[in-house]
């Protein structure tokens, strides 16, 4: 039975310092509250930070071999809880159950395993002249994670922090707390030393703010909206702590003349609708040759018509609901804005899908003839809503792609890989995928511009949690 009314601090499950503060967790498919979770306060943050600070004195001195053994055990225990994690994610944020078990829970396992392999080979010291450069753990890390890919974001922060020798405090999203609490149980069973990993639930304006401002937290790793990321950075500034952020996106999907149109458009629409459009790197702006707009719209509509929004636990469901009423209302307003501003509604539109009378379901929606000054082309919608924009030529496509305050991801499909490479190099984004290839988990993930300033995954993810110390004269004769 998952313990939802306590926090995991200093190796034990403990009551909140201030008791009686809680919030319901609502199933987005039914709109019904499933249970309550305890909410923390600044006092709980202080308690967790003190535990992490004490633990850092010893955990930071552990050997590579000790950390390899610890991560190996975490992977082993995690594998036995994947179905449980998938069920929790499905219930709390609406992902179809098979997708939640395979991709949501699987993403967490993938990051744990990848970090383990990086740790086995990483060079923590190098020689430069008479100096030795030593990479040491940054210290106590505050982690704030979102609800859309909960285990992906928890694992790609916790795993490298453990590998680096850091200690940490995690505040998961209050909308998806159960998978995080299971993760705490996994770490406890695997033998993570007390105080190294701490978890408390709470709201951003209280617990998140206290973490960002805390003088004994050396680094904040934040994933969420750009608006919230700005607030975190402002609060962290007076203590000059490191702030690593993975924020919003409005990623271009450039499909050039000569590309396999059916394959590229079909793949792009399916990718956009995956996870009900609730991915920061979703290819939400499809940029196509103006002359192909009608053909592209027809292909896209065919995909939307086959995309079934429904019960996450029912056979045949393609996408589940969005996470909560607030998100649903925002998406509905933006769909209406697209209609009002003159975009062509190709599929979907406002309201609930046909045959659905409750739940935060959004009709799979496609707009064509979108211009880059329209609201639906500028703002991150974070739902199953695709905008299709026309470009006069390759140069115009690149210009439109880069005309955004975001820079998390970009996608390019072309007649040849050489063309895709040339265009991909011109896109101002931290991740560019060519010819339909998925992300490489060993490569860095993160954004340019208002999409953030840090990198996660693989070696780059580990180095986010390390300081470089130069010791001159170490190798002097």
- Spatial strand order in the sheet of 385-391: 344-347, 365-370, 385-391, 285-289, 252-255, 409-413, 431-434
User: What residues contact 315, with CB distance under 8 A and at least 6 apart?
Assistant: none
Task: Read off the tokens for 402.
Answer: 């880069």
CA dist., res. 64 & res. 124, Å (int):
9
246 as an active site residue: the answer is yes
Q: What are phi and psi of 465, to 5 degrees?
A: -100, 15
* For helices 105-121 and 64-79, angle between their N-to-C axes, nearest 10 degrees: 160
Element counts in the chain: helices (H) and strands (E): 16, 19
Contact indicator for 29, 319 with CB cutoff of 8 Å: no
The three-class DSSP label of residue 412 is strand
CA dist., res. 142 & res. 153, Å (int):
13
166 as an active site residue: the answer is no
Partner residues linked to 36 by β-bridges? 24
Query: Active-site residue among 92, 101, 213, 246?
Result: 246
The three-class DSSP label of residue 390 is strand
Would strands 385-391 and 409-413 be described as parallel, antiparallel, or unpaired?
unpaired
Query: Active-site residue among 213, 280, 380, 464?
Result: 280
CA dist., res. 120 & res. 116, Å (int):
6
Task: Read off the tokens for 174.
Answer: 């209050």
Task: Read off the tokens for 107.
Answer: 């993403």
Percent helix / strand / coil, the chain, rounded to 5 = 45, 20, 35
Cα torsion 98, 280, 264, 106 to 10°: value is -30
Closest CA to 304 of 265, 333, 330: 265
Q: What are phi and psi of 27, to 5 degrees?
A: -75, 115
- Catalytically active residues are 246, 280
């Amino acid at each position: 039975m998952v313990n939802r009314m306590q926090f995991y601090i200093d190796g034990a499950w403990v009551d909140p310092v201030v008791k009686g503060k809680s919030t319901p967790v609502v199933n987005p498919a039914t709109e019904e509250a499933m249970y309550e979770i305890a909410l923390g306060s600044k006092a709980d943050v202080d308690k967790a930070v003190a535990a992490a600070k004490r633990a850092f004195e010893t955990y930071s001195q552990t050997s590579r071999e000790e950390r390899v053994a610890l991560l190996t055990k975490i992977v082993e225990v995690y594998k036995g809880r994947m179905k449980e994690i998938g069920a929790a994610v499905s219930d709390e944020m609406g992902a179809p159950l098979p997708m939640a078990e395979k991709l949501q829970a699987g993403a967490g396992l993938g990051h744990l395993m990848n970090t383990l392999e990086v740790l086995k080979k990483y060079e923590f010291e190098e020689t430069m002249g008479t100096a030795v450069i030593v990479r040491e753990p940054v210290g106590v890390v505050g982690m704030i994670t979102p609800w859309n890919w909960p285990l992906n974001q928890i694992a790609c922060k916790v795993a490298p922090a453990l590998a680096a020798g850091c200690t940490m405090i995690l505040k998961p999203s209050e909308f998806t707390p159960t998978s995080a609490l299971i993760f705490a149980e996994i770490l406890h069973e695997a033998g993570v030393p007390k105080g190294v990993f701490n978890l408390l639930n709470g709201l951003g304006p209280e617990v998140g703010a206290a973490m960002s401002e805390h003088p004994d937290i050396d680094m904040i790793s934040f994933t969420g909206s750009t608006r919230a990321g700005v607030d975190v950075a402002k609060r962290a500034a007076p203590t000059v702590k490191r702030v690593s952020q993975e924020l919003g996106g409005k990623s271009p999907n450039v499909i050039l003349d000569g590309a396999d149109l059916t394959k590229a458009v079909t793949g792009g629409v399916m990718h956009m609708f995956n996870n009900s459009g609730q991915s920061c790197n979703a290819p939400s702006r499809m940029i196509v040759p103006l002359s192909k707009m009608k053909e592209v719209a027809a292909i896209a509509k065919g995909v939307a018509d086959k995309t079934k929004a429904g019960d996450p636990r029912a056979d045949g469901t393609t996408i589940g609901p969005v996470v909560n009423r607030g998100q649903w209302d925002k998406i509905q307003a933006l769909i209406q804005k697209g209609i009002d501003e003159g975009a062509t509604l190709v599929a979907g539109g406002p309201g609930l899908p046909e045959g659905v009378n409750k739940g935060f379901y959004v009709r799979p929606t496609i707009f064509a003839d979108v211009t880059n000054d329209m609201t639906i082309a500028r703002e991150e919608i974070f739902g199953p809503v695709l905008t299709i924009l026309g470009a006069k030529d390759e140069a115009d496509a690149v210009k439109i792609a880069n005309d955004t305050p975001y820079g998390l991801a970009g996608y390019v499909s072309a007649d040849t890989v050489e063309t895709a490479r040339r265009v991909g190099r011109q896109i101002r984004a931290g991740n560019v995928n060519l010819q339909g290839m998925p992300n490489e988990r060993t490569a860095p993930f993160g954004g340019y511009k208002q999409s953030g300033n840090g990198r996660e995954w693989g070696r780059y993810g580990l180095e986010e949690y390390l300081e470089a110390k130069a010791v001159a004269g170490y190798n002097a004769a």
